Structure 1
Amino acid sequence: MKKILQRCALCCALWGVLVAQPLAQSLDALDESTFELVNLYQQKGITSVQEKLESYLLSVPYWLKVVGERDVSYGYFQTTRYVFVSDKALPDLRLFKVTNQGFELLGSSSALVAQGKGHKKLEGDLTTPIGVYDLTARLSGLPPYYGPLAFATNYPNTYDRSLRRTGSGIWIHGLPLDGNREELNTKGCIAIDNELLKKYDGLVDYRDSIVIISEGELRTMNAMQAAQILAGLYAWKEMWKKGDLAGYLKFYDKENFVRQDGMRYKAFAEYKSRIFAKNEEKQIEISGIDIAPFPNGEGREMYRVNFRQDYRALLNGKVSFSSSHRKDLYVWLQEGEMKILSEK
């Protein structure tokens, strides 16, 4: 049924090209690419048109056109609406709203962070983490130390877990309600003025917000990097869908890949080899793509890629496995090619 609906949608789109204006005018207005698609449909049917359209998604020039003049310094987002950015070396906290043009600054202030330097590694090391984190909850009714409310993060994320970093309870919260501000360090959180925090609470929904935490100036993203990652993401999906094991594994960093559960590249490749050997038909759809520059200590152009993945495997026409969830890839660009360092 899903394939039938997809084909109907493609047919309607093609027909819309022709009926949106008088036929003679529309034929004159057809550009070369549209003519190619219509001709392909006439000769080989709608499946060939779908394959052609999907091939564009593997193209860096296509994604450069999608990004256009948009500012993607703090990321390319299809679902995220608000981005907190903190440089813990200052320390500060800024809030941006994601717009069609890029980012609108909603607020900026100094902040308090933990005294530890570098990446947070262990529970109780009094260090604020570095990386990209989802906001997972809005907390209230807390002890007065945390101010009027807090936004919880998902530290440790997939990448942290792959490196066996531990700890929990990393929040964006307020200052002590009793006015005692003698303590200038947190236990690992980011703390800001209570009135500003309440203002932010009235602006954002934590469910579509993230925080990017760096130590020193953030290495931002540009349009070419966003396009290379987007094209790489769809090429990775295409290799997976086709069952091309060698092509699929080329997207993984042989030297540095570690899955969240500790599985390294060699074991991962052997595991995937067994899966691919089943010769299942795969239906893979990805949507709601968010890409954010990922601060790290390795000096890499590193990014978190988060998206919705709908997956179905069929064996002899019957569904053998299915899943639907948001997926994380932690990637870097090696001479413009996407390489996966960790995934969940």
Structure 2
Amino acid sequence: MSPRPGRLRRVLALVLVSLPAASVNSMGSFATPDPAPLPLAQASPGKPIDVTHRRPEQELMRVLDAMQRGQFGTAQSTLDQLLRDYPNYRLAHLIQGDLLKARGRPLKTMGDVSEVSPEVLNDLRLEAQVRLKRYTEDAPVDKVPGNILQLSSAQRYLLAVDVSRSRLYVYQNDNGTPRRVDDFYITIGKNGYDKRIEGDQRTPLGVYFVLSQLPKASLPDLYGAAAFPLSYPNEWDRLQKRTGHGIWLHGSPSDTYSRPPLSSNGCVALTNQDLMALSKYLQIGVTPVIISRDFDWVNAEQTQQDRDSLLQSLEHWRQDWESRDTRRYLEHYSANFRSGSQDLTAWSAQKTTVNASKKWIKIGLSNVSLFRYPDNPDMVVATFEQDYRSDNLSSKGGKRQYWQREGSGWKIIYEDVS
């Protein structure tokens, strides 16, 4: 029997009573849509995606549901099997203690034990809270983050990390339409999110890409089964003088099944089982990872106006570059534009000199992706493959631009190779 959201909401109320207000508020506000089952995901035509990694969390929800119904025998047998399979599941051990006490008297709080420190108890209660909310107040399955304006044809999947929900959502590129196919509980930085300086133990907010894979054999035990470095600091982070490095997707130490929601040094951490399940979605150098404090959930069609506007601006930029009309070309750039160490004045001088030396220019753009930047709805990251040809030079490569809304149009505020 699947746990019913109504009963789990009553369990959630018990957890919330147990938590200090600061712990609850640190995770941000939560939406309250009706829960809905995930559609059957497809890794490739005719091949369903394996989501058995969800079983431990689902079994824990069944335990809590059975406890709420007073079916302690069912709860105990389910929990016993869960702990046999995952003996280092600390939250399950906490609930085991509650289950034993619940047989004799009603529970007034989750984790009604004196031999565990208040800090550890609050960590486990917070984990219970965010895991429960996945089943009582899930993000809408039929909607997408408003940040996704366009996936490139090369990007098979996108990861959307909602730090307020402690959840990572996987979206499949279904012929250009993002469709949610999986999700995972995650851990973020000890001090929350919005990383700014080296060592602040916060998780950054932004648009990043998976850069590489580090195998278990090359890692300390802290990082678990593997690690996937992300592109923090990105171009925008460096422009904003944000420091630090080494932000990864990684697993958990061997002595624990999962970690509390706020316990990493800034990375996004998963259980080892979840990380291995997530790894099948990752394309090195290609998969985008959007990390946001929360998401504006919209119908995919609602992003069309901004997508069309950006694509039109990008096409006009391409045409004006081909025209060798430097004045028209430079009108696409913001007064605050930067490219590496160049400002708009230096960029303009360089482009004027280069264009004057050309007899003709042809520009081809392909694999265009467009993502609205978290916490900055008026900025969009465009990444594409550029095929540049002229009478004396030809080159191909990746390019990334940051477009900012200025007035009624869009201007490029940053540009560089990707």
Q: Same fold (TM over 0.5)?
A: yes
**2-side partners of 1:101 and 1:182: how far apart?**
35
The equivalences for 1:227-306 within 5 A come to: 227-254=308-335, 256-259=336-339, 261-296=340-375, 299-306=376-383
Q: Cα deviations across residues 214-233 of structure 1 (Å, max 9, x unaligned)?
A: 12335877001011111111
CA drift of 1:120 comes to 2.5
Deviations 1:317-338 (A, max 9, x none): xx2x332111000112335522
Residue 72 (structure 2) aligns with: none
What is the aligned counterpart of 2:239 among 138, 162, 165? 162
Matched, 1:212 2:284: no
Q: Paired residue for 2:272?
A: 194
1:334 aligned partner: 406
Distance 1:113 1:91 in 2: 7
State the TM-score, normalized to the length of structure 1: 0.70
In the alignment, is residue 93 of structure 1 matched against residue 168 of structure 2? yes
Q: Bigger shift: 74-83 or 101-110?
A: 101-110
Residue 27 of structure 2 aligns with which residue? Answer: none
Q: Which aligned segments of 4 or more residues in structure 1 are displaced greater than 6 angstroms?
A: none
Instruction: Give the superposition deviation at 1:150.
Output: 1.7
Q: How many residues align?
A: 266
Q: What displacement does 1:268 show?
A: 2.0
Partners of 1:264 and 1:118 in 2: how far apart? 30
Q: Deviations over 1:34-61 (max 9, x none)?
A: xxxxxxxxxxxxxxxxxxxxxxxxxxxx
Q: Secondary structure at the residue paired with 1:84? A: strand
Q: Which amino acid in structure 2 is aligned with residue 330 of structure 1? A: Y
User: Following the alignment from structure 1 to structure 2, what is the Cα–Cα distance between the partners of residues 280 and 170?
Assistant: 45
Distance 2:408 2:192 in 1: 31
Contact kept? 1:282, 1:311, Cα under 8 Å: yes
From 178, 192, 216, the counterpart of 2:255? 178
- Cα distance in 1 for residues equivalent to 2:341 and 2:285: 28
Residue 331 of structure 1 aligns with an amino acid whose one-letter code is W
> Where does 1:137-152 land on structure 2 (aligned, <5 Å)?
137-141=212-216, 142-152=219-229
Structure 1's 180 and 118: CA in aligned 2 closer, same or farther, altered over 3 A?
closer
Structure 1, unpaired ranges of 5+: 1-69
Aligned counterparts of 1:92 and 1:275: Cα–Cα separation in 2: 48
Q: Percent identity?
A: 28
2:149 aligned partner: 75
Change (3 A) 1:102 1:71: farther
Q: Which has the higher contact order (CA 8 A, sep 6+)?
A: 1
Determine which structure has more spread, i.e. the larger CA radius of gyration. 2
SS in 1 for 2:155: coil
User: Which ranges of structure 2 fall in alignment gaps of 5 or more residues?
Assistant: 1-142
From 187, 193, 199, give the equivalent of 1:112.
Answer: 187
**Structure 1 position 237, deviation (Å):** 0.8
Over aligned residues, Cα RMSD in angstroms?
2.5
Q: Provide Cα deviations, 1:89-114, integer angstroms capped at 9, x if missing partner.
A: 33321111111262222222331111
Q: For 1:253, what is the secondary structure of its paired residue?
A: strand
